[in-house]
Chain A
Amino acid sequence: MHPVLILVARRVALGVLLLWAASVLLFAGTMILPGDVAQSILGQSATPVALANLRAELGLNDPPLTRYLNWLGGVLQGDLGTALTNGQDIAEALGRRLGNTLFLAATAAVIAVPLAIGLGLLAARYRDRWPDKVISTFTLATVSIPEFLLGYIAIFFLSVNFRIFPSLAAVHEGMSLGERLYAVSLPALVLVLVVLGHMMRMTRAAILNVMESAYVETAELKGLRPFAVVARHAFPNAVAPVVNVVMLNLAYLVVGVVVVEVVFVYPGMGQYLVDHVSKRDVPVVQACGLIFAAVYIGLNLVADIVSIVSNPRLRHPK
């Protein structure tokens, strides 16, 4: 078998193992949280009788191991179960939320990734000159400002003062693609600003690193134009670290945007997870956690594979 295939197969197997470990950790984590789901659902209005009734109904009196194994068996058959709190089918509710999250992440990524790499190339090309300084300062500033503040600034100017974009990004079924894109314009903008800096600086650093090497000097001595040197000789060799950081940022766009979701009232996964954590809705928390873990592991897998494929030394090991 081709060594690359073996390498990839090993990575995938490791990913599956990691997912299982994540599920165990998630379960253990939800167990040690204070309070239980019945208490959390009923809140201040909990009477002992109502509590006992709800506990029995939700099966909270079973031992934890039984509950975990029941759930794992269901997941393997594609059944995520029903939410303890409102009895909804998790797969269905989660599917809609995941779709929203992926839509927002994709919108932001489609803008941010090419922009970041382009700006990174530009900054490397004009290293230490004004374009580099402007790009670096701007992206550093947007990374440094907390995302909720960026969100509020955007809302203040773009929706309250000038009324260009909506401050609410609440998408719902029955909206056309155009309406959806318009609705998510502000959160997408904020997310682009948040992830831009990291990817741009990594691109710049990786390219500059490669620029020090002998073959780049050779290319320059051959008389190639500076941009051709960067694009044809330096960039392919800088792909691995850039892909890594791009994947990390994509993962962030999927799993880490709960604050932006709250500010723009976007019905994504983050808010869904937070609500269910605070209600101790273990099946939902685990389903969300598993999906988040799968996204992280999957994207890192892609980064690994791209690194392998783009690196002749890994592609053709001795």
Chain B
Amino acid sequence: MNDDLSRLLASLDRSGLTRRTLLGGAGAAGISAALGVSLAPASLRAATPKRGGVLKMGLGGGETTDTLDPGLSDSPVPYSVLSQWGDTIIDVSPTGELVPRIAESFSPNEDGTVWTFTIREGVRFHDGSEMTAADVVATFKRHSDENSKSGALGILQGIAGIEQNGRDVVVTLKSGSADLPYLLGDYHLVIQPNGGFDDPNAAIGTGPYKLVSAEAGVRYAFEKNQDDWDKERGFYDAVEILVINDGTARTSALQAGQVHMINRVDPKIARLMARAPGVNVTSVAGRGHYVFIMHVDKPPFDNRELRLALKWAINRQEMVDKILDGFGTVGNDIPINAAYPLFTPLPQREQDIEKAKAHYAASGHDGSPIELLVADTAFPGAVDAASLFQQSCEAAGIPLKVTRVPDDGYWSDVWNVKPFCASYWGGRPVQDQMYTTAYLSTADWNDTKFRNEAFDALIVEARAETDIARRTELYHELAKILHEEGGLICPMFNDFVDAHADAIAGWYDDPNGEMMTGRASWYTWMA
């Protein structure tokens, strides 16, 4: 049984690494530390990084209202700041492997309800104090407290108890899950002294860089942590994060040589920019996707035929071409794509005006305007995408009406409130997490109000299922239900488009997030 679970974990690696690679010849305890701790691909690890220099990053997505509290770090700049000074117990590699970090090994019990994480010794916080299993326990407790405002609260809800046992942290779950290590690798969960209970904003962690100064929404400065426990990362003497929210300003700062790397290159100019001298534009297919969401419990969207009519009417390829300028892939009305482990494709739904017409006729809709609410903040190009959708619907005789609303208040008054609107999802490391977050009947963020008992039962069954073939089958089943019944119209998965100067070496693509999942300052160096 234990072997089954280990094999399952091994197989989660979509690059097809064998179980032996993942287990690394470890004992019967399960997965252990024999794996190298570096996330960088082996080819790059072979190169000898040069140490020194000051890395300057120009990042969009920061505001003067940002805090340093990891629990509240939800936008790109706070996320990158977190990666400089903090460590999680586990990381997910670009190829989807679990990489032990602060936990040097971990193993589940037979049914996956009790997980034991052995905490690395000799790791020191930036203030010089020793990091222990107690700090890890406190961190998880702070984020999983039901009064917590942490962004990780939702994914920790399946935890029944967290306890320290010497060097070990023992996590007990309400029901078995093979995915727990992925969840505990969530970027919010950086280990803080006493879990951050004393001062969540202290920014003291075990990461490769120490925070020197922070001015929210403007600039963050870091210096190299000389006592870093991991000598294979953090090659710069200092790192500076400049907040540049204006896309043009960000681009010109890179071109003028004022910063070395930028995030969120506008797809519309990415190709032009790639031609500029001294600049490299990188694009990675990720799990983030843009969506139009219908509340399946409210008219007219409670009508399955109408939902299908809209799903057949939308032109996904056109959106990838025009909205993402090719920097993305078509969606298939499920939140899962090939970037997920255990993914099996469904037949691709493509625009079919005839089918859309037939379904619309079958729905018996009265022909009154179907209102789609949209704002720029929903996703870049959302308003244009809605217009394209509207035109496609017109061709099928569906009276879609696009109403543009202000960015202000969009996430409070429109998203998850109005029956039909545009939105985005960042994606999750594993399928279970994505489904549990947004498609389980009881999920807070069930933004399509999708309630299907059979679907819920399948999610729970798949979570604890240790037979890979069976689990893959279950996920296929889930995808099929959502594809047919769900309120999700997913036209496209967006790429992460970043850019860096020629002066930077060691860059690799990571589908888990932008800026090498926040690890750009860890594994690149000045050429």
- Chosen A-B contacts, 20 in total, with CB atoms closer than 8 Å, are A35-B411, A48-B444, A50-B149, A53-B148, A54-B149, A85-B67, A93-B64, A167-B256, A167-B258, A168-B58, A262-B246, A263-B248, A263-B249, A265-B243, A265-B253, A271-B64, A271-B217, A272-B217, A275-B64, A279-B63
Query: Measured between alpha carbons, how far is A279 from B72 in the docked complex, in Å?
Result: 14
Set of chain A residues within 8 Å of B256, measured between Cβ atoms: 155, 159-160, 163, 166-167
Please pick, from B65, B147, B242, the residue contacting A276 in the complex, using a CB distance under 8 A: B65
A249 interface residue (CB < 8 Å to B): no
Asked if B64 and A272 make an inter-chain contact with CB atoms under 8 angstroms apart, the answer reads: yes
Given contacts A54-B149, A275-B217, contact A167 B253 (CB under 8 A): yes
Q: Using a CB-CB cutoff of 8 Å, which residues 206-249 of chain A contact chain B?
A: none
Given known A-B contacts A35-B408, A279-B63, A44 and B413 have beta carbons under 8 A apart:
no
A window 34-87: CB within 8 A of B: 34-36, 39-50, 53-54, 83, 85-87
Other than A34-B409, A34-B413, give 15 A-B pairs with Cβ distance below 8 A.
A33-B409, A39-B409, A42-B74, A43-B74, A49-B444, A50-B150, A152-B248, A160-B252, A163-B256, A172-B213, A263-B248, A265-B245, A267-B217, A278-B63, A279-B65
**Given known A-B contacts A42-B149, A262-B245, A267 and B65 have beta carbons under 8 A apart:** no
Alpha-carbon separation in the docked complex, A167 to B244 (Å): 11
Please indicate the chain B residues that have their CB under 8 angstroms from the CB of A156 in the complex.
Answer: 252
Residue numbers in A under 8 Å from B415 (CB-CB)? 44
How many A residues have CB within 8 A of the partner chain? 49
Q: In the complex, what's the smallest C-beta–C-beta distance from A255 to chain B, in angstroms?
A: 17
A35 to chain B, nearest CB (A): 4
Query: Which residue of the partner chain B has the closest CB to A162?
Result: B256
A170 within 8 A of B: yes
Shortest C-beta distance, A179 to chain B (Å), equals: 14
Contacts of B105 in A (CB 8 A): none
Among B154, B215, B243, B412, the most chain A Cβ lie within 10 Å of the Cβ of: B412
Q: Is B423 an interface residue (CB 8 A)?
A: yes
Say whether A49 contacts B146, CB under 8 Å: yes
> Does A47 contact B244, Cβ atoms closer than 8 Å?
no
B residues in contact with A263, CB < 8 Å = 246, 248-249
- Residue of A35, A45, A267 near B151 (CB, 8 A) is A45
Q: Judge if B464 is at the interface, Cβ distance under 8 Å.
A: no
- Chain B nearest CB: distance from A101 CB in Å? 13
A281 interface residue (CB < 8 Å to B): yes
Residue interface bits B134-167, CB-to-A below 8 A is 1, else 0 = 0000000000001111110110000000000000
B401-412 interface mask toward A, CB cutoff 8 Å, 1 = contact, 0 = none? 000001111011
Q: Is A264 an interface residue, CB under 8 A from the partner?
A: yes
Across the interface, B65 reaches (CB within 8 A) one of A33, A45, A166, A281, namely A281
How far is it, in angstroms, between the C-alpha of A134 and the C-alpha of B37 when the chains are bound?
68
Looking at the assembled complex, report how far the CB atom of B240 sits from the nearest CB atom of chain A, in whole angstroms. Answer: 10
Q: Does B343 contact A (CB under 8 A)?
A: no
B182 on interface, CB distance cutoff 8 Å: no
Q: Which residues of B contact A272 (CB under 8 A)?
A: 64, 217
B255 contacts A by Cβ under 8 Å: yes
Given A85-B65, A86-B67, A87-B67, A264-B249 contact (CB < 8 Å): yes
Partner of B215, one of A155, A159, A267, A275: A267
The answer to whether residues A45 and B74 also contact, given A53-B147, A53-B149, A168-B244 and a CB cut-off of 8 A, is yes
B251 to chain A, nearest CB (A): 9
Complex contacts, A41 vs chain B, CB 8 Å: 65, 72
Partner of A172, one of B154, B215, B217, B248: B215
Find chain A residues with CB under 8 A from B213 CB: 172-173
Residues of A within 8 A of B411 (CB): 35, 39-40, 43-44, 46
- Residues of A contacting B253 with CB < 8 Å? 167-168, 265
| 0/1 interface trace, chain A 1-37, chain B, CB 8 Å (1 if under) | 0000000000000000000000000000000011110
Instruction: Report yes or no: B242 in contact with A275, Cβ–Cβ below 8 A.
Output: no
Cα–Cα distance between A46 and B67 once the two chains are bound (Å) = 16
Please tell me if the beta carbons of A86 and B249 are within 8 angstroms of each other in the complex: no
Max count, chain A CB within 10 A of own CB: residue among B64, B253, B258, B407:
B64
A47 touches B147 (CB 8 A): no
- In the bound complex, do residue B219 and residue A34 qualify as a contact, i.e. CB atoms below 8 Å apart? no
Contact B218 A34 (CB under 8 A): no
A residues near B259, Cβ cutoff 8 Å: 168
Minimum C-beta distance from B217 to chain A (A): 6
Chain A residues lying within 8 Å of B219, measured Cβ to Cβ, are: 170, 172, 267
In angstroms, Cα B64 to Cα A41, docked, is 12
- A155 neighbours in B (Cβ, 8 Å): 248-249, 252, 256
B187 vs chain A, min Cβ distance (A): 13
Name the residue among B58, B63, B148, B151 with the largest chain A CB count within 10 angstroms. Answer: B63
In the assembled complex, how far is the CB of residue B140 from the closest CB belonging to chain A, in whole angstroms?
Answer: 17
Pairwise interchain contact B409-A35, C-beta atoms closer than 8 A: yes
Minimum Cβ distance to chain A for residue B182 (Å):
18
**Among A172, A265, A279: residue with most chain B CB under 10 A:** A265
- Among B65, B146, B153, B413, contact of A35 (Cβ-Cβ < 8 Å): B413
* Nearest CB on B from A217, distance (A): 54
Could you tell me if B258 and A35 are in contact, using CB atoms closer than 8 angstroms?
no
Q: Does B257 contact A (CB under 8 A)?
A: yes
Which residues on the B side are within 8 Å of A160 (C-beta)?
A: 252, 255-256
Contact A33 B248 (CB under 8 A): no
Query: Inside 8 A of B482's CB, which chain A residues have their CB?
Result: none
Query: Which A residues touch B229, using CB under 8 A?
Result: none
Query: Which chain B residue shows the least CB distance to A42?
Result: B149
- Using known A-B contacts A167-B256, A168-B244, A173-B213, determine if residue A275 contacts B65 with beta carbons closer than 8 Å: yes
Counting chain A CB atoms within 10 Å of each CB, the highest count among B58, B149, B445 belongs to B149
Report, nearest first, the 6 A-B pairs whose CB atoms are least far apart. A34-B409, A39-B412, A35-B412, A35-B409, A85-B65, A47-B444
Chain B residue, CB-CB nearest to A39: B412
Contacts of B257 in A (CB 8 A): 163
Please give the distance in Å from B291's CB to the nearest CB on chain A. 12
CA distance A33 to B407 in the complex (A): 12
CA distance A150 to B370 in the complex (A): 42
Q: Considering the chains assembled together, what is the distance between the CA atoms of A41 and B444 in angstroms?
A: 17
- Contact assessment for A167 and B64 in the assembled complex, using a CB-CB cutoff below 8 Å: no
What is the bound-complex CA distance between A96 and B219, given in angstroms?
13
Instruction: Kindly state the separation between the CA atoms of A86 and B67 in the bound complex, as whole angstroms.
Output: 5
